[in-house]
Chain A
């Protein structure tokens, strides 16, 4: 658990400072292209063995963040530090850096190549990044399959021969072949049955403890987030609106958006009812952002000053919040 929000003394493996990613959007013939700020100033740091959960509704920039962190795209502006090395914006990251971060996708039916055997899939990262001999690779694959709860005999099979849970185990195994420091989990259990979900979460927790992995856990399932996360970053409209450790944010959410988000999760305790906050309207159009706080058009507490300036993340209570009312 992260007791303090200050920079941890243990090795920080992933650090983002004011990370931004903009996409040009063509608006039709003879019109200048507009810019969509899909990711607009996200900062956090993550130490080995920690889990950061990123939550927010669809289109808030969670997956864009994942793409930046896994170096699939490079950020437009801001700093990204991986394992002590800076990722240069707008430049192709080098191979050594790539090895230290891997990704597990949401849908295990789309993330495994249907034409390759499990062995070929797990071997690919080793072939491309290491100089291991054939028998070394084979041993590594067998060991990894056992570690994620599959049998080495499974290596010769194709993905369609496995169930959803097993496929996700394979996807996790593939992500871990290169011994990454950081694993980005993009909704890793959302596509799975409830019973399998718990197994995969247990496996992830166990792997984190044994291998000292840092997780960036992207999710919209708050009950899962509560269970697995050390810290939570709530995003809205490409911006962080609240950043605090898990305990704090679940017991005392600060930002009105976080409150609304959390009020939407069902409560398990009998007799306890939480007041639902129903948000009106939709997130604003990225092509035409509202003045000031992007949440202000939907916010129940909005005042006139909310429309004057974009609130920055600032310390409030035990965490940080981007709301001028707090």
Chain B
């Protein structure tokens, strides 16, 4: 007799499938992840290899284009498709690491601040206000300047800059939930602080966090690109999407493909992450389920 516990994952997947946007997003993400894993196999060239006989070639469907440079080449003759495929590695990695750090740390801090309140809350929130008071990119720039340029340090800096949003969001939800009757009922049943925070209250605060996390994913990629452009993030010749975009800026009027494809890659990845996040939020919410 299995009345419950019918595989939470299977149930969630069942509801996830109902969202067409979520499925499309997931499909594209699958493609990107495939590129991430098998970049060495599927990329036609080495992403840093410069073909001196093929500078700024347009894509093959263009009259001036030629095989095997499917999406064309950049100003120093590197194959754009190969760079995009390898770039997926960096961009996805940046997004995941930054968002994970910001979400985990931000949620925990917000949960503690909202739940315990008092001077602890005040201390955390004022600290977050200090971070928020700086223009985010400027603060990230300053931090990287202190830590030393490099992709990893840029990621830490971006995560820190994003932290206050998650702290505030979590704190607000927690404060709304913590005096609800079901929390008191759980306390009367003998639940301690840790259980009340993480098992009773937190699941009810997840919806805005999931949305914020998916939005931050794109911001993380873009901020990392901006830092890369300023020479503080990914160092050339790393084929990071944002850095590629920044490098190609000067060719925007005469070689559209150099700018368009990295931009498109960022756009589509971010879009599909948002779609998946939306669908995931709905699928994880029992209230959205049919009886």
Residues of A within 8 A of B (CB): 70-72, 95, 98-99, 101-103, 105-107, 110-117, 119, 124-125, 128-129, 152-153, 155-158, 160-161, 171, 174, 177-178
Contact = CB atoms under 8 A, between A and B. Distances in A.
B186 A98 contact: no
A102 B182 contact: no
Interface in B1-56: 3-6
Query: Lowest 6 CB-CB distances: which A-B pairs, in order?
Result: A156-B4, A111-B181, A161-B291, A125-B189, A158-B286, A128-B190
Contacts of A171: 185
B126 interface: no
A121 to B, nearest CB: 8
Contact of B287 (A70, A110, A111, A158): A158
Nearest to A156: B4
Given A110-B180, A110-B182, A155 B3 contact: yes
Contacts of B3: 119, 152-153, 155-156
Contacts of B291: 157, 160-161
B185 A114 contact: no
Interface string B175-191: 00000111011111111
A111 B4 contact: no
Contact of B186 (A113, A119, A155): A113
B181 A119 contact: no
Given A119-B3, A152-B3, A114 B287 contact: yes
Nearest to B205: A115
Given A98-B188, A102-B188, A128-B190, A113 B287 contact: no
Contact of B182 (A111, A155, A161, A178): A111
Nearest to A106: B181
A111 B185 contact: yes
Nearest to A125: B189
B200 interface: yes
B203 interface: yes
B204 interface: yes
B181 A98 contact: no
Contacts of A112: 182
B235 to A, nearest CB: 45
A113 B184 contact: no
Interface in B250-291: 286-287, 289, 291
Given A156-B4, A160-B287, A161-B291, A113 B189 contact: no
Interface residues of B, number: 23
A129 B190 contact: yes
Nearest to B201: A113
B189 A124 contact: yes
A117 B8 CA distance: 12
B203 A115 contact: yes
Contacts of A177: 189
Contacts of A125: 189-190
A155 B6 CA distance: 12
Given A98-B190, A160-B286, 6 more contacts: A70-B188, A102-B188, A113-B200, A156-B6, A157-B291, A158-B287
Contacts of B195: 128
Nearest to B289: A158
A107 B181 contact: yes
Nearest to A161: B291
A82 to B, nearest CB: 13
Given A128-B191, A157-B291, A158-B287, A174 B185 contact: yes
16 contacts: A71-B188, A72-B187, A72-B188, A98-B188, A98-B190, A102-B189, A110-B180, A111-B181, A112-B182, A119-B3, A128-B190, A129-B190, A152-B3, A156-B4, A158-B287, A178-B189
B60 to A, nearest CB: 52
B286 A99 contact: no
Contacts of B4: 117, 119, 155-156
Contacts of B289: 158
Contacts of A113: 182, 186, 200, 204
Contacts of A114: 182, 204, 286-287
B1 to A, nearest CB: 9
Contacts of B184: 72, 103, 105
A95 B187 CA distance: 11
Nearest to B183: A113
A158 B182 CA distance: 14
B185 A103 contact: yes
Interface in B175-232: 180-182, 184-191, 195, 200, 203-204
A99 B204 contact: no
Contacts of B200: 113
A95 B190 contact: yes
A116 B203 CA distance: 9
A103 B287 contact: no
A101 to B, nearest CB: 8
Contacts of B286: 114-115, 158, 160
